[in-house]
Chains A and B, each alone.
Chain A
Amino acid sequence: MRCEFYEKYELGEIGESEFNAHSPNCPECRKLLAQDTQLLALAKNFEQPIASPLLWAKIENSLRAEQQRNRRNWRFNWPEQKWTLWRIAAVLLLGIGLGSYLIFKPEPGESRLLAGAALEQVEKRERAYAEAITELERTALPQMAKLDVELMLLYRDRLETIEAQIARCKEALAENPSNAHIRRYLLAALQDKKETLRELLQLAG
């Protein structure tokens, strides 16, 4: 009957100590062990094949060819490259946007918003107008009674209209004090009121 100890030992079903205890008394297992030991010794000493001196050159050439093929196929390889393309597109869009802004951006003088210094200057002029108007009103308004009724009503209506304009401008400027257009309207209205009062004074005088 065939001994199965060696097979069990080789397949890890029994341990080394168990096999060592068995093998001295089993010629079959001793023979198999000796044969396998020689087999492994022979295999371990196989001659290492020597690579042809051109093998690396051949491999390098094939790697180079593969790299070149990859570069050529790059644009066709959409799934792999799509993120790169998205990034390029984003950078391009950003560049176009920034370029357009720099090219078409309004000059400082054209700005619809007044810068700090300009605003201060405009407010100064408005205050000067307001002071002049207050002064004129103090003198001119009592003189209105000297005008005939029709002229008086005409000037009163005109002054009310101008004042309504001034009030609307001030209301808008309370929300947006730097708006150059409204400031311009306000200055024009103030000047109009000043001229009207001066006219009134001349007529009454």
Chain B
Amino acid sequence: MEVFLIRELENEHEIIRRCQQGDRRAYEIIYRHFAAVLLGLGRRMLGRQEDAEDAVQTAFLKLYRGVNQFQFSAKFSTYLLRIMMNVCFDLMQKRRGKKDRAFEEIEISYAPHIDLRLQLEEAINTLPERMRACFVLFAVEEMKQDEIAEILNLSVGTVKAQVFHAKARLRVLLSDSPSVGEPEPQNIFTNG
């Protein structure tokens, strides 16, 4: 599979140094560069746009608090995505505790969709957290498995297994919900 890597920030070290000095313009440069990726991750992990935006905001606060400890030998995108994923895991954990009503609605509303893409998006929400994270980073963000392992602090073997099992579950979930209406893209997951 051809792997597309997240574009690295230009003048990364200089921008990070400015962040370390508390320059908010430097944070804005980082935001403009990574917002789409972070928001996408948040959306896939948490399900709702508002939660994703809250997660991005919290991730930037955590970046601000921890940027002085950033090791310049490390890759900044990996560092930032790790922060974002940890924020998502924290929010999911809190939500598990509260049993968020809105989230229940999302789960309840899981139903056959015209669009297979939407069906897949909702099916992803039902995956266990780590599995979901591995699948989203691999399939949606098209990251290499070793990078995913670094972000999630897992072994590459575990990432491979998680992605494999995620695909297996999603295949089952998509085949269970019959595609109706528009034939495009054709649902090849249904039996028969």
A interface with B by C-beta (< 8 Å) = 7, 10-12, 32, 34-36, 38-52, 55-56, 58-60, 62-64, 66-67
Contact = CB atoms under 8 A, between A and B. Distances in A.
B106 interface: no
Given A11-B164, A43-B139, A63-B61, A34 B31 contact: no
Nearest to A46: B140
B57 A46 contact: no
Contacts of A10: 160, 163-164, 167
Nearest to A61: B57
Interface of B: 1, 22, 24, 27-28, 31-32, 35-36, 39-40, 43-44, 49, 52-53, 56-57, 60-61, 64-65, 116-117, 120-121, 124, 135, 139-140, 142, 157, 160-161, 163-164, 167, 170-171, 174, 185, 188-189
B171 A59 contact: no
Given A55-B56, A67-B24, 11 more contacts: A38-B188, A39-B174, A44-B139, A49-B43, A52-B49, A55-B35, A58-B57, A59-B61, A60-B24, A66-B61, A66-B65
A10 B167 CA distance: 10
The 7 closest A-B pairs by CB, nearest first: A43-B139, A10-B164, A49-B43, A59-B60, A49-B39, A43-B140, A42-B120
Contact of B160 (A11, A35, A39, A51): A11
A40 B43 contact: no
Contacts of B35: 51, 55-56
> Chain B interface mostly helix, strand, loop or mixed?
helix
Contacts, number: 100
Contact of B53 (A38, A51, A63, A67): A51
B28 A60 contact: yes
Contacts of A66: 61, 64-65
A63 B60 contact: yes
B59 to A, nearest CB: 9
B171 A35 contact: yes
B4 to A, nearest CB: 9
Nearest to A41: B185
Contact of A44 (B52, B56, B65, B142): B142
